[in-house]
Amino acid sequence: MSQVAVAGRAIPEEAAPKRSRFRPPRRLRVTREGWFYVLFTLGVGGAAVNTGNNMLYLLLGLQLACIVISGVLSEWALQGLSLRTEEAPDARVGEAASWHLVLGKRPGRIPSYTLVLTAMEGPARGAVAGVLRVAPGDSERVALRYTPTRRGRFTGRAMQVSTRFPFGLFEKSRDLEVEGPPQTFFVYPRRRPMPMPQGAPEQREGTTTRSEPGQGAELLHLREWRPEDGLRNVHWRKSAQAGRWVASVREREQEREIEVEVDLGAQEESESLEALELRLERASGEVEAALDAQRSVALRLGRQRLVDRGDSGGRRRLLRALAEAAPEFGGAP
Amino acid sequence: MNLATARRISTHVAVLAAFWAMASGGDFPPTGSAVFAVAVVASLLKGDRQISWLAPTLLVASAGSLVVLALAVAQGGLDLVVGAAIFAAVVTANRVLARKSAADDPLLFLTTLLMLAAGAALSGELAYGLGFAVYAFAVVLGLTFSHLELSADAAGVGIVRRNALASRELWLSLFGLAGVAMAGAGLFFVTFPRVNARWFGRHAGVGRDPLVGFSDQVRLGGYGALRSDPRPALRVTFPDKPDMPVDTDQRLDLLWRGQSLDRFDGKGWNVSPGQRDVGSPIPSNPARGSSVIHAHVEVLPVAQAASVFSPGEVLAVRLGQLDNQAEQATPHRAWRSAAGDATIAPRPAGYYAYDVWARPSSLAALAGKGRSYTELVQRMGLQLPEGIDPRIGQLAERWSSGLDDPLAIAVALRDHLKSEYRYTTELPGEQPDPLAHFLFERKEGHCEFFSTALAVLLRTRGIPAREVTGFSGGRRAPASDVFLVRAGDAHSWVEVFFPGVGWMPFDATPDAFKENEPSGLAAAWAAVADTFERSWRANVIDYDLMAQLRGLQSAWQAVTTAGERFRREPDGSSPEGGLPTLDPMRLAGLALLLIGVGFAFRAWRRRRNKGQEESPATAMWSRVELRARRKGAGRRPSETAREWVQRLQRDRSPVAAQVQELAALYEAARFGGIRWGADDEARIGTLLAAMK
């Protein structure tokens, strides 16, 4: 897992798992039933060697054969797999999120059964999802459900795929990386319902216009009339003067922006950092409340100022900025 | 068949097969078998339903049975292995009844493995092998289905996709997998080094003591079931005469003498002090003579003996291999004991082999040898227990009245016993005077009763006689020169002393103790069954370290021989008798041809398999059609799904609404590339259930 800080120092985050260079390509874990089975096999082996009873040797042979078959089939299940993903949707601390992946199996003869995907990096680390069967040359869509615990921007693509096929006695696993560049995950601060921001009326009330086409009262410019303009927008006087249809284009009317400000100053103490997190959560709540009320928002994060321009990505831009906000140490708490 | 049903069936088959393998030896009490069968049937009827009072009740029952069994074993009323087998069955019955879901199956399979292990200690019969084979297939299927069902539960997979999983392809794959497991078991069986370490406890498996037939002592009326013990005790070849005469059942008409017992205490036989002491060494130079039988005998650990088993009077013995390497360092030798028995000292710990030259006995020229016995012979051959029933002496008088010659008396007494008494392996139980009970009340028994009766009757007439134990017969193994003498062939007979000749064998046991020969269809079936059984005995039960070494040796020999045959002479010609040599171009051409054929076969199989894999949508649609057909509203071959729905609506069929909705879902998944969500699958399950 890696993490990018916007300003100052990195946001405190859980340590990334160390990837040892000596990490074996396959890991094997014995399940509870598997331990019983192994112990019983050892018991039968001991009894066979002690007594020389060929029936016990036969039973021992079957048990050992099942162990070998288990190893071979689980290996086949783990081979030829690939992972693709769509863009990871932004998530929010404390709320369930899904990361959709597509698990593919290369063409061949043998399907893969009972696979379990586990995220090894990113906010979804530790999240698991099961796939019952992937046919050769086919793929299965998997939703990895997780609940982030920390805000921030994360990257990651390391996954682990494991299987207990065919008997559930052993669990074999391997690393599997999502194809393509590492995924970026944004985790917004925790949702904290806030009322519509109130403050200085000169800052937060009244309307203004912007030099953009809209439905306001002020005229922006005139142009040739088009059928989609409708009769309502015909500028009758100019049309009469020009002898052709002329349409009036009016300015967009806009309310005054609501400005939300967050002080990023903090000390390197847990209380101070927690207080900053609280401020960010409140700011997030205010931004969302304002946006839900169809108001424009300007977000001031320390020295950075972001304005929602009313386009489709505005909300995401502001919330991502809150997700990435790093404390400015040395300033006022 | 859906996944849960497939799992239930394979699990129950595995349970029954394991029980069959365990109970096939005949030592498992019939009541227990009946109770177990009831438990399995009840489990099938109960399914995966949970019954709150069942689990604690079964737990108490299991604990109670453990206490009862432990007490029975401690008091000697129950064999430890049989007790363990019964408890394994109790635990399995508990698990099979108490199971609630696929999550309970792994532990159930472990308990079935316990039953198989107990069965291995109880039985070596072919029936065990059959049960084992069925179990191997069922357990592979059952474990895999259980695992798939558990994984489907964990992944929240809907009923339709779950059931589509138990497709024909999966069944076939799992059968193939089970076949591989069996082959793997066979490979491990053949290659795993055979050791008989004997660290502790019982040896050689089966928990029956050889109380009947060959043993160091004989107790009349003791328990045992040796006639059915199929394990080989002796493996015999006749190097000088491979085509030894056999009867129609490929059985030898020989007695393999082991040791003699001279003291009868009224209930059994043992040996007088000093009789087992080592006497003179037996020569190892081969004996010559037209009547001399030369036999190579391998004594397998099941015999637990130190005797030189011989088909007559021992003339010479040459010791061969011992299976214990440490023992080979000690100088073993064949000796004749004070009683005249041929024995090996020091006593071998396990397997041993030897060549024996022996002279078969003959009753010719025994008449008129008189009664001048030495003191030693009188001490060995005339002892009678105190308080012997006087009726025994009177019976001997009556059967040999008017006779004086020892041979004539011996023959008369033997013939009376053979003709007037019946052979049976049923045991009379403990009797205060087992011999009198046999002679005057029951009038039937096994070989030890007959031999004891003849010896005691002869002694009451003043003729020295003693009990002898060993083996009878031996059967030729299929397609080989090897004769196998089974533990079940253990036998006892009598030796009568004739001055100037020595101890001569007399067998009073009726010939019925040999197995009855079947006839007609039964004979044919018995021959087939026997072929399998002998093959099982020869290749499985009898497979040991020596067989492994022989296999290794012949494999190595085959490799070296093949190498020799392919090796070309320096002048380019092949050695004499070798395969014709191929020039490199031809060899390359042959290799290319084989590769081409391989590729063509692969391409053909891929083409054939293409599109055969059944999608969940197709599987669902098949079920829709099947259920509609059962309701009398099946789809006509010429109808599309849409036409079928329209017809059902026209006819106001009760399943029209369900089929219409299911057809829409089917078409969306099959042709629209839409994957069903959990809601869709739940809806499909509801609609299918409504069509039932």
Q: What is the DSSP string of B547-563?
A: HHHHHHHHHHHHHHHHH
- Closest chain A residue to B107, measured at CA: A33
> Rounded distance, CA B543 to CA A286, Å?
83
| B197 with A50: Cβ contact below 8 A | yes
CA distance A146 to chain B (A): 15
Residue A12 has pLDDT above 50, yes or no: no
Give the pLDDT band (50/70/90) at residue B73: confident
> Scanning the structure block, which residue is given the tokens 């005949």?
B26
Q: Which of A11-15, A328-332, B91-95, B147-151 has the lowest mean pLDDT?
A: A11-15
A contact test, residue of B147, B175, B202 with most A CBs within 10 A: B147
- Looking at beta carbons, which residues of chain A come within 8 Å of B194? 52, 57
Mean pLDDT, residues A237-260 taken together: 80
> Rounded distance, CA B497 to CA B501, Å?
8
Give the pLDDT band (50/70/90) at residue A11: very low
Residue A206 has pLDDT above 90, yes or no: no
CA distance B302 to chain A (A): 10
pLDDT at A13: 42
CA distance A48 to chain B (A): 8
Mean pLDDT, residues A6-23 taken together: 47
pLDDT at B356: 93
Mean pLDDT, residues A246-256 taken together: 74
Q: Which of A25-34, A205-214, B24-33 has the lowest mean pLDDT?
A: A205-214
Give the pLDDT band (50/70/90) at residue B519: very low
A contact test, residue of B108, B110, B123, B151 with most A CBs within 10 A: B151
> Rounded distance, CA A331 to CA A329, Å?
6
> Rounded distance, CA B158 to CA B682, Å?
7
CA distance B435 to chain A (A): 36
User: Averaging pLDDT over each range in A205-209, B159-163, B259-263, B563-567, which range is the top one?
Assistant: B259-263
Task: Measure CB to CB from residue B165 to each of A53, A59, A132 and give the nearest one.
Answer: A132
pLDDT at A29: 92
The C-alpha torsion from B566 through B570 and B572 to B578, rounded to 10°, is -30
> Rounded distance, CA A288 to CA A322, Å?
12
CA distance B107 to chain A (A): 7
Give the pLDDT band (50/70/90) at residue B416: very high
Burial grade of A228 (CB within 10 A; 0-12, 13-18, 19 or more): exposed
- Looking at beta carbons, which residues of chain A come within 8 Å of B124? 53-55
Task: Measure CB to CB from residue A57 to each of B116, B136, B192 and give the nearest one.
Answer: B192
Return mean pLDDT, chain A. Answer: 80
B contact test, residue of A62, A63, A113 with most B CBs within 10 A: A62
pLDDT at B222: 55
> Scanning the structure block, which residue is given the tokens 């014995």?
A30
Please report the sign of the dihedral spanned by the C-alpha atoms of residue B629, residue B631, residue B635, residue B636: positive
Residue B516 has pLDDT above 90, yes or no: no
Counting one residue from A and one from B, how many pairs have CB atoms under 8 Å apart?
A: 165
| B116 with A169: Cβ contact below 8 A | no
> Rounded distance, CA B321 to CA B502, Å?
31
Over its C-alpha atoms, chain A yields an Rg (Å, rounded) of 31
| A61 with B187: Cβ contact below 8 A | yes
- Looking at beta carbons, which residues of chain A come within 8 Å of B25? none
| B180 with A69: Cβ contact below 8 A | yes
Tokens of B183: 């082959």
Give the pLDDT band (50/70/90) at residue B43: confident
CA distance B224 to chain A (A): 20
Task: Measure CB to CB from residue A40 to each of B110, B197, B198 and give the nearest one.
Answer: B110
Of B462 and A252, the structure prediction assigns the larger pLDDT to B462
CA distance B351 to chain A (A): 12
Give the pLDDT band (50/70/90) at residue B514: low
| A55 with B124: Cβ contact below 8 A | yes
pLDDT at A204: 42
**β-pair type (A207-224, A246-255):** antiparallel
- Looking at beta carbons, which residues of chain B come within 8 Å of A130? 151, 154-156
Percent of chain A with pLDDT over 70: 82
| A166 with B180: Cβ contact below 8 A | no
Residue B420 has pLDDT above 70, yes or no: yes
- Closest chain A residue to B105, measured at CA: A33
Give the pLDDT band (50/70/90) at residue B225: very low
Give the pLDDT band (50/70/90) at residue B566: low
Q: Which of A59-68, A156-165, B197-206, B288-297 has the lowest mean pLDDT?
A: B197-206
Mean pLDDT, residues A294-311 taken together: 78
Residue B213 has pLDDT above 50, yes or no: no
CA distance B532 to chain A (A): 16
pLDDT at A222: 87
- Closest chain B residue to A58, measured at CA: B189
pLDDT at A21: 60
Q: Tens digits of per-residue pLDDT, A66-102?
A: 999 999 999 999 998 998 887 778 889 988 888 888 8
pLDDT at B525: 66
Q: What is the ipTM of this complex?
A: 0.73
- Looking at beta carbons, which residues of chain A come within 8 Å of B324? none
Tokens of A183: 């995924």
User: Averaging pLDDT over each range in B215-224, B574-583, B585-594, which range is the top one?
Assistant: B585-594
Q: Tens digits of per-residue pLDDT, A133-186?
A: 888 888 888 888 889 888 888 887 789 999 998 999 999 999 998 887 777 888
Identify the CA nearest to A33 among candidates A167, A136, A143: A167
CA distances from B451 to A183, B195, B266, B403, B447 (A): 91, 37, 13, 21, 6
pLDDT at B107: 87
| A55 with B162: Cβ contact below 8 A | no
Q: Which of A271-285, B229-243, B254-268, B390-404 has the lowest mean pLDDT?
A: B229-243
Task: Measure CB to CB from residue B147 to each of A44, A59, A167 and give the nearest one.
Answer: A167
> Which residues of A have a CB under 8 Å from any CB of B?
33, 36-37, 40, 43-44, 47, 49-66, 68-69, 73, 109, 113-114, 129-133, 135, 141, 164-169
Give the pLDDT band (50/70/90) at residue B325: very low
Give the pLDDT band (50/70/90) at residue B201: low
Strand extents, DSSP E, chain A? 2-3, 27-30, 81-85, 91-92, 97-105, 112-119, 128-134, 139-146, 152-156, 158-163, 170-177, 183-188, 207-224, 246-255, 258-262, 265-266, 297-301, 304-307, 328-329
pLDDT at A16: 47
Q: Which of A56-60, B129-133, B330-334 has the lowest mean pLDDT?
A: B330-334
- Looking at beta carbons, which residues of chain B come within 8 Å of A164? 147, 151
- Looking at beta carbons, which residues of chain A come within 8 Å of B181? 62, 65-66, 69
pLDDT at B26: 67
| A62 with B165: Cβ contact below 8 A | no
- Closest chain A residue to B545, measured at CA: A52
Mean pLDDT, residues B399-427 taken together: 89
pLDDT at A252: 66
pLDDT at B196: 67
| A64 with B148: Cβ contact below 8 A | no
Tokens of B233: 């005790």
| B181 with A50: Cβ contact below 8 A | no
Mean pLDDT, residues B370-380 taken together: 86
Return mean pLDDT, chain B. Answer: 81
pLDDT at B608: 67
pLDDT at A170: 93
| B195 with A60: Cβ contact below 8 A | no
> Rounded distance, CA B139 to CA B105, Å?
10
Beta bridge partners of A174: A161
Tokens of B478: 């299929």
The C-alpha torsion from B53 through B54 and B60 to B61, rounded to 10°, is 140
Mean pLDDT, residues B223-243 taken together: 70
Percent of chain B with pLDDT over 70: 84
| A165 with B147: Cβ contact below 8 A | yes
- Closest chain A residue to B118, measured at CA: A56
Query: What burial letters (b/e) apply to B86-123, b meaning 16+ CB within 10 Å?
Result: bbbbbbbbbbbbbbeebebbbebbbbbbbbbbbbbbbb
Q: Tens digits of per-residue pLDDT, B642-678?
A: 888 888 988 888 888 889 889 888 888 877 667 787 7
Q: Which of A63-67, B270-274, B425-429, B657-661 has the lowest mean pLDDT?
A: B425-429
CA distance A165 to chain B (A): 7
Residue A251 has pLDDT above 80, yes or no: no
B contact test, residue of A132, A145, A169 with most B CBs within 10 A: A132
